[in-house]
Amino acid sequence: MVDYHAANQSYQYGPSSAGNGAGGGGSMGDYMAQEDDWDRDLLLDPAWEKQQRKTFTAWCNSHLRKAGTQIENIDEDFRDGLKLMLLLEVISGERLPKPERGKMRVHKINNVNKALDFIASKGVKLVSIGAEEIVDGNAKMTLGMIWTIILRFAIQDISVEETSAKEGLLLWCQRKTAPYKNVNVQNFHISWKDGLAFNALIHRHRPELIEYDKLRKDDPVTNLNNAFEVAEKYLDIPKMLDAEDIVGTLRPDEKAIMTYVSCFYHAFSGAQKAETAANRICKVLAVNQENEHLMEDYERLASDLLEWIRRTIPWLEDRVPQKTIQEMQQKLEDFRDYRRVHKPPKVQEKCQLEINFNTLQTKLRLSNRPAFMPSEGRMVSDINNCWQHLEQAEKGYEEWLLNEIRRLERLDHLAEKFRQKASIHEAWTDGKEAMLKHRDYETATLSDIKALIRKHEAFESDLAAHQDRVEQIAAIAQELNELDYYDSHNVNTRCQKICDQWDALGSLTHSRREALEKTEKQLETIDQLHLEYAKRAAPFNNWMESAMEDLQDMFIVHTIEEIEGLISAHDQFKSTLPDADREREAILAIHKEAQRIAESNHIKLSGSNPYTTVTPQIINSKWEKVQQLVPKRDHALLEEQSKQQSNEHLRRQFASQANIVGPWIQTKMEEIGRISIEMNGTLEDQLSHLKQYERSIVDYKPNLDLLEQQHQLIQEALIFDNKHTNYTMEHIRVGWEQLLTTIARTINEVENQILTRDAKGISQEQMQEFRASFNHFDKKQTGSMDSDDFRALLISTGYSLGDAEFNRIMSVVDPNHSGLVTFQAFIDFMSRETTDTDTADQVIASFKVLAGDKNFITAEELRRELPPDQAEYCIARMAPYQGPDAAPGALDYKSFSTALYGESDL
C-alpha cells in the first residue's frame, strides 16, 4: 500500500501504512483511498494484474525509448537493476551512481538498492519492498515499485485549484470533459469503460483528430480503440491498455487508468499553460477595451455637451433690441422654453458625465491603469467653466430681456401720451393762424376795436396757458429720442411742426397786438362786465380743459402703493369740484347780469360776448364733460387697483411656496452632507438608503413645478420685484440642480467604494473600519482632510512614517497637490496596500508562454491563441520588435504590456 503525507512529503509502501491513508483527512494523501491501496498480502485480481503489466510496461517504455532501449517483461527486465536505474535517470533528469556491471546476484541487488535509495531520496518511504524481491522477480513487488515511481514522477505534481495528485487529475478530467454528452467522469475505473471520456479529452484539445459526434455509447470497443490509436499516432502516447480487457472487466484497474490518463495530462499540459496565459491576457485586454470604450463615450458626450454650450451662449449673448413689446415678449417666451425644455436634459447630461468620469477613474485605479486624461478642453473642469459662462450669459440675458420690456413699455406709454397731447394742442391751434392774420380791425368801430383788443388779450392769456403743454410735448419727444424709440423720426417731425407753428402764433400774436393798440385810441366803449366774464371764463375754461386732459391721461404703475397714490390724487381733485362749480356759477352769473343790465337799459346786444369765444354753452358743455370723465377715471383707477391686488396675490402666493421649497432644498443639502460623512451599515445598505433618499427628492419635484407655474404667472403679469421672499426662481433652480447633482455624486461615491471593495477583496468590516477611522480624523466633517490629519490617521492604522515615506504616500493620494485627501483616495490607497492585482510583469509572463519563451510574438501566434477581436486589438497596437533575435513580423509584447499599465518600458 502506498500513502502520501502532506506533512512530511513522503511515500510509504506496505501494509503498515494503511491507517495513515485513512487518517489524512483533507490532505494531499487522500488521493489513495484505502479501497484502492496496494496490499501485497491480498491476491491481485488477475484481470487487474494483466492491465497493470501492460500499462506499466508501456509507460516505462515511453521513457526508456528516449535512452534507446525498452523492456519486454516487467518482472524480468528490471531484475539486474540496470534498466531500473536508467528509467529513473530519464524521468528525473538526474544522474544516479554508476551501476555495477557484474552478473552476480550481489551486483544486481546493489544496483536495485541504488535505485531504491534514489526513490527514497525523493521523499518516498518504501516499506516491505526490498532489493531481493525485485531481483527474485516478485511480480507484485515489482508492480508496486513501478506504481510508486509513477505516483512520484507522473502524478504527484498535478494540481488543480489547490488539490493534488489523484483529486487534481480527476478534477482536470471533469473540467475538460464537462461539455460532452454521455461523459460523466467520477472515478478512474468504470467512468472510462465506454471510451467516450478518452475521446472527449483528445477532442477538447485536438478537435481535428476526433469526430466525436459520430461515436456511440453502445460501441465501447470501437470508442476505446479509436482513442488509443489516435493518442499513439498523433500524441506520442503509447497504447497502454487493451479495449477488450477494459470492456470485459467489471471494474478496470484504477492504477492502469490513472497512469494512462496522466500521460494525456502531460501531453496537454503545454496547451493548458498556454490557455491559462491566454485567459490572463484576455482578461487584461477586456479591461482595457472596456476602459477605452468608456473613454470614447466620455469624449463623445463631453464634445456634444460643449458643442451645445458653444451654440447656446451666442444666442444668450445676442442683445439686439426689438421695436415692440410683443417681439420682446416672444423672446422672453423662447427663453422660458429654453429653461423648461432644453436646459434640464443638459443639466442631467453634465451630472451623468461627471459620474461616468469618476467611475472610469475608479476602474482604472482598480486595474492598475494610468488615470484618464481627456483631450484638451474636455476636462470636467473645462466643462464646469463653460457651464459657468453659460449660466452667466443666461442670467445676463434674462436681466436684459426684462429691462428691455420695461423700456419698451415706458416708450409705448410716452408715445401714446405724446400723440394725445399733440392732438389736443393741434385741435386748439386749428384756425388760430387765420384768426391772427384777419384784418377785421380795419373796418371795425371803436367799440369793436376795443372789443378786439380785449379779445386779443384773452387769447394771449390762453396762449400763455398753452405754453406748458407745448413744453411737455417737446420734453416727451426728447425723452423718446433718448430712449431710442423706433418711430422717433415721425415724433420729431410732428414735434417740430408744433414748435414751428407755436413760434408762428407767437409772432402773429405780437403783430396783431401792435395793430390793435395802434387803433385803440380811436375806440371808446367797452363793456366791463363782458370783459370780467371773459377774463374769468378763459382761465376757468383752461382749467376744465386741463382737467379733461388729466382725467383722460394714461397711467402705468407696478405696485399697490403707486395706484393708491393715483387714487389719492384723484380724490383730492374731486374735492375741488364744489369750488369749481361755484366758480362756474359765478361766471354764468356775470353773463346773466350783463344781459339783465342790457335789457333793463334797453341796450341791443349783438348776441355774443365780443371779448371771448367761451360762451356759457361751452362752459356748461365742458363742465358736463368733466362730470362724465370723473366716474370713468374712478372706474379705470379701481380696475388698476384690482390688477395690482391680483399681482400682490401672485407675489404672496409665489413667496409662500418659495419660502417652503428654498429651505427644504437647503435642509436636504445639509442632510446629504451629513449622510456622506456619517454613513452606517454595509455599503449596500448605504446605497439603498441613498437611493431611497434620492427617490424622495425626485418625488418633491411637483412642488418645484408648481413654483415654476407661479413664477410664469408672475412674469406674464410683468411683476419685477417681490418683497415677501428672498428666494428668486433662479436661486431655487440652481439649488435644485445642485441638490440632484450632490445626491447623484454621493450615490456614485458609494458605488465606486463597492467597486473598490469587490475588486480588491476588502471585507465589509474593513470598509466600516476604514470609514470609522477616516470620520474620526475628519475634524471638520467635510469628507476630506489636510495632510496633518491624514498623517495622524495613517499612524493610527499602524504605519511608521518618516518624511520620505509620508511624502510618497501623499503623492499617491493627492496627485494634484491640493493639500486635501478624500475618503475615496484613502480607500484606494489602503486597498493597494493590502491586495494584489494583475501587473505588467504578469502579463509579460503570459505573453511569453504564448510566444514559446521567445522575446517576441507573431501575429499568427496571437490569432491562434486569442479570440479574434482581442488578437486584432493587440496586433493593431504592438510595435515591431527591434531586438537582435528579431524575426520577420515579430511584435514587441513587452512594451505593449507595460503601456497597458502606464509604465515605461525599462
* Three-state secondary-structure class, residue 820: strand
Name which residue leads in pLDDT, 551 or 518: 551
Q: 452, 441 in Cβ contact below 8 A?
A: yes
Per-residue confidence (pLDDT) for residue 307, from 0 to 100: 93
Residue 899: is its pLDDT beyond 60? yes
159 beta partners: 164
Distance separating alpha carbons of residues 819 and 830, to the nearest angstrom: 19
Residue 608: is its pLDDT beyond 80? no
Q: Which helix (H) or strand (E) holds 786?
A: strand 784-786
Cell 395690482 belongs to which residue?
644
Per-residue confidence (pLDDT) for residue 253, from 0 to 100: 87
DSSP character for 891? B
What does the pLDDT look like over 469-512, one tens digit per residue? 888 888 988 888 887 777 788 889 989 988 988 888 888 888 88
Name which residue leads in pLDDT, 402 or 8: 402
For range 259-265, the mean pLDDT: 87
What does the pLDDT look like over 119-155, one tens digit per residue? 888 877 776 778 888 888 888 888 888 888 888 887 7
Per-residue cell: 396: 445676463
Residue 29: is its pLDDT beyond 60? no
Per-residue confidence (pLDDT) for residue 184, from 0 to 100: 92
Q: Which helix (H) or strand (E) holds 435?
A: helix 432-437
Q: 231, 264 in Cβ contact below 8 A?
A: yes
Residue 525: is its pLDDT beyond 50? no
- Give the N- to C-terminal CA distance of the chain in Å, as an integer: 55
Query: Counting Cβ atoms within 10 Å, is residue 166 exposed (0-12), middle (13-18) or buried (19+)?
Result: buried
Per-residue confidence (pLDDT) for residue 328, from 0 to 100: 78
What does the pLDDT look like over 619-646, one tens digit per residue? 899 899 998 988 988 888 898 888 888 8
Nearest to 205 by CA among 144, 124, 266: 266
Q: Domains, the chain, ranges and CATH?
A: 283-412 (1.20.58.60), 456-462+470-614 (1.20.58.60), 660-831 (1.20.58.60), 840-901 (1.10.238.10)
DSSP character for 155? I
Distance separating alpha carbons of residues 774 and 678, to the nearest angstrom: 11
Per-residue cell: 350: 453634465
Per-residue cell: 465: 396757458
Give the amino acid at 784.
S
Per-residue confidence (pLDDT) for residue 476, from 0 to 100: 87
Per-residue confidence (pLDDT) for residue 38, from 0 to 100: 40
What does the pLDDT look like over 705-746, one tens digit per residue? 898 888 888 888 777 788 888 888 888 888 998 888 988 988
Phi/psi of residue 17, nearest 5 degrees: -95, 5
Half-sphere exposure of 635 (CA within 13 A, CB side): 6
Q: 375, 299 in Cβ contact below 8 A?
A: yes
Per-residue confidence (pLDDT) for residue 42, from 0 to 100: 32
Residue 442: is its pLDDT beyond 70? no
Distance separating alpha carbons of residues 189 and 506, to the nearest angstrom: 137
Residue 664: is its pLDDT beyond 80? yes
Confidence of residue 392 (pLDDT cuts 50, 70, 90): very high
Residue 681: is its pLDDT beyond 80? no
Residue 786: is its pLDDT beyond 80? yes
Confidence of residue 44 (pLDDT cuts 50, 70, 90): low
Alpha helices in 367-379 (DSSP H): none
Nearest to 429 by CA among 478, 406, 462: 462
Q: 754, 823 in Cβ contact below 8 A?
A: no
Distance separating alpha carbons of residues 904 and 906, to the nearest angstrom: 6
**What distances in angstroms separate CA 473 from CA 415, 480, 551, one per listed residue?**
10, 11, 18
Give the amino acid at 41.
D
Worst-scoring range by mean pLDDT, 41-45, 318-322, 582-586, 718-722? 41-45
Distance separating alpha carbons of residues 267 and 33, to the nearest angstrom: 26
Cell 375754461 belongs to which residue?
541
For range 44-62, the mean pLDDT: 83
Give the amino acid at 282.
C
Per-residue confidence (pLDDT) for residue 866, from 0 to 100: 84
Residue 311: is its pLDDT beyond 60? yes
Residue 34: is its pLDDT beyond 70? no
Confidence of residue 804 (pLDDT cuts 50, 70, 90): confident
Confidence of residue 2 (pLDDT cuts 50, 70, 90): very low
**What distances in angstroms separate CA 191 from CA 58, 359, 402, 568, one per listed residue?**
22, 50, 89, 111
Please give the distance of CA 540 from its chain centroid, rounded to a whole number. 78
Nearest to 553 by CA among 416, 412, 429, 718: 416
What is the chain's mean pLDDT, rounded?
A: 81
Query: Counting Cβ atoms within 10 Å, is residue 664 exposed (0-12), middle (13-18) or buried (19+)?
Result: middle
Residue 431: is its pLDDT beyond 90? no
Angle CA(363)–CA(364)–CA(365) in degrees, nearest 5?
Answer: 90
Residue 6: is its pLDDT beyond 80? no
Residue 836: is its pLDDT beyond 60? no
* Three-state secondary-structure class, residue 680: coil
Distance separating alpha carbons of residues 535 and 531, to the nearest angstrom: 6
Distance separating alpha carbons of residues 787 and 810, to the nearest angstrom: 8
Q: 529, 453 in Cβ contact below 8 A?
A: no
Confidence of residue 222 (pLDDT cuts 50, 70, 90): very high
Nearest to 777 by CA among 833, 822, 834, 831: 822
Confidence of residue 164 (pLDDT cuts 50, 70, 90): low
**What distances in angstroms separate CA 871 from CA 296, 364, 859, 862, one per listed residue?**
21, 22, 8, 5
The pairing of strands 124-126 and 10-13 is parallel
What does the pLDDT look like over 79-130, one tens digit per residue? 888 888 999 988 888 898 999 888 898 888 898 998 888 888 887 777 677 8
How many residues are there in the chain? 906
Cell 416708450 belongs to which residue?
411
In sequence order, what DSSP letters do the residues of 401-428 get, joined into one string? HHHHHHHHHHHHHHHHHHHHHHHHHHHH
Which pTM does this prediction carry? 0.53
What does the pLDDT look like over 740-761, one tens digit per residue? 898 898 888 888 888 877 776 6
Per-residue confidence (pLDDT) for residue 440, from 0 to 100: 76
Distance separating alpha carbons of residues 584 and 578, to the nearest angstrom: 10
Query: Counting Cβ atoms within 10 Å, is residue 788 exposed (0-12), middle (13-18) or buried (19+)?
Result: exposed
Residue 416: is its pLDDT beyond 60? yes
